Amino acid sequence: MLLYIIVAFAFLVYVGIGIMLYKRRKERNIKSRSPVLIYITHWSNLLETLLTFPIIIEGYLNPYELDYYENRLYQVAALIAHYLVYFPYILRCYRLYFIFHLDKDWEIQNNRFKQNIHRTRQRWLVKMLCFCMIPVITACIICLFWKDADKYFPLNLSRPKNDWVDIPDCVYTFVCFTEELIMIAGIYAIKDISDDFNMSNELFYVGIIWFLTPAFSIYIRSSKVIWAIPYVIRNILLMLRSSLVPVIWSFFNKPLFEPLTIEMLSSLELTLQNAATLEAFEEFLRLEELTTTRSFGSINCGSGLSMLEFYLKCRLFANSGSSNLAENIFEDYLETKIVHIPAEVYLEIENGDFTDANLFNKAENSVIEKLKTYFYPKFMTSDQYFFLKRLIHRQEIYQYRLMQTSLHEFQINEHKKMVVECDDWPVPTLD
């Protein structure tokens, strides 16, 4: 009785999430994933789960009740459902790889991409899914109309436990191995791809979850229950990651990453306004501090990293006006002489009002001037700088490709939302 309750509960959960997928289909976290493929995967997942539950239930009750034709229909339904779960994941890997993979030439005007842009669209993906299902349909026809087909299909509920033969086991093992090999190739192809919609992250976890079932294939001889339970667990985990998580994310407007442009590297002021360029500049200063001690004219230039930290904390104070923060800045950087500023500026701050938002303005200007004239020219010849230039070029290609695919629609919509919400900060549109 408990098993039937579990089956009914699982069915209701699948149906509920399927309804939410349909209702939220226009949201970016769902629509960007090729909704048709998501629907096919979700409902096929439910079908395969419902077809696997009888193996568990009948394993505890009466395992040999299916007649000849019922068993053949079961094999056909299980085979179709399984590959309608599997192939959409592979096609989604291919789509992500085709859009975001960059070859060694990194050309924006890529003729191969432009000529095959139709491969990113759902219609083409569904056609490919139908093409991939041809061998499966062929196997199903053989299973239905060839009397001895059960000798080659391992999922036969009517075969006694002691009557398993080598051929079905070999076929099953070979098919599992091939599935895993293709899945590994797909995940490996997109391992370096980062997208705003977390699709590569999802497919990575799908690959890990998919590896769960072959590990229990050895139990197909001794215990069909132990062999079937991992299939149910796998399908539920796939449903949670590929159906439920996008539905949950669709209720949140996750901010997109800030774009990088070559103009952001043209001056120190612009470099400090972007998180990625600021991080690269900070890494350069950290390495610079480890390797050498510099001087600036007659004044010890000090640590560039400390000056950057001082400047950022001064900006934080200007926005907050916290007297405690002002005292900490003065004690940690100026009083200890970690950051050097002109003596008159130091005295002005020491005797100033620690609640005045403009207290550190002159000190900031002095520090920025030192960073700009001494450290930033060196940064422009560093490995971090050239890494950013390569990254910017890569993102330009991403943006070009996104503009030619359905993903561009979501970038434009999110761009408009972010402009309204924070029009004083660079609007992030691409990872």
- Condensed to tens digits (0 to 9), the pLDDT of residues 272-315 reads 888 888 889 999 988 887 776 544 443 444 578 888 888 888 88
Helix, strand, coil percent content, the chain, rounded in steps of 5: 70, 0, 30
CA distance 347 to 175: 78
| Residue 369 neighbours by CB distance under 10 Å | 12
Tell whether 213 and 286 lie within a shared domain: no
Of 331, 249, 222, which is closest to residue 33 (Cα–Cα)?
Answer: 249
Question: Residues 82, 48: contact at Cβ < 8 Å?
Answer: yes
Count: domains in the chain: 2
Domain end, chosen from 249, 281, 307, is at 249
426 in a domain, yes or no? Answer: no
User: Across all residues in the chain, what is the average pLDDT?
Assistant: 77
Centre a 10 Å sphere on the Cβ of residue 311 and count the other Cβ atoms it contains: 22
- Give the percent of the chain with pLDDT over 90: 18
Residue 250: C-alpha distances to residues 91, 147, 195 (Å): 22, 49, 16
pLDDT of residue 58: 63
User: pLDDT of 212-245, one tens digit each?
Assistant: 776 555 555 556 677 778 888 899 999 999 999 9
Q: Is the backbone of residue 34 left (phi > 0), alpha (psi -120 to 50) or beta?
A: left
Examine residue 255 and state whether it is found in any structural domain, yes or no.
no
pLDDT of residue 254: 56
- Tell me, yes or no, whether 257 lies in a domain: no
Residue 427 lies in a domain: no
267 and 245 housed in the same domain: no
In this structure, is residue 91 part of a structural domain? yes
Give the pLDDT score at 87. 96
Domain extent, residue 386, equals: 262-421
Q: Tell me the C-alpha distance between 353 and 391, whole Å.
A: 44
DSSP string, 184-251: HHHHHHTTT---TT-HHHHHHHHHHHHTTTGGGGGGGTT-HHHHHHHHHHHHHHHHIIIIIHHHHHTT
96 with 190: CB under 8 angstroms? Answer: yes
In this predicted structure, the answer to whether residue 63 has a pLDDT above a threshold of 50 is: no
86/233 same-domain check: yes
Do 79 and 52 lie in one domain? The reply is yes
With CA atoms as reference, report the closest residue to 319 among 271, 262, 263, 357: 357
pLDDT tens, position by position, 180-220 = 899 999 999 888 777 667 888 899 999 999 887 765 555 55
Please name the residues in contact with 255: beta carbons below 8 A apart, sequence gap of 6 or more: 418, 428
- Is residue 339 predicted with pLDDT exceeding 70? yes
254 belongs to a structural domain: no
Q: What DSSP string describes 11-74?
A: HHHHHHHHHHHHHTTTSHHHHTT-HHHHHHHHHHHHHHHHHHHHHHHHHHS-TT---HHHHHHH
Q: Which residues pair with 299 in a beta bridge?
A: 296
CATH no. for residue 407?
1.10.167.10
Query: Looking at the domain assignment, is residue 372 inside a domain?
Result: yes
Q: Let me know if 428 is exposed, middle or buried by CB neighbors in 10 A (0-12, 13-18, 19+).
A: buried
Q: Identify whether residues 312 and 228 lie together within a single domain.
A: no
Domain CATH for 64: 1.20.1070.10
Residues 130, 174: one domain? yes
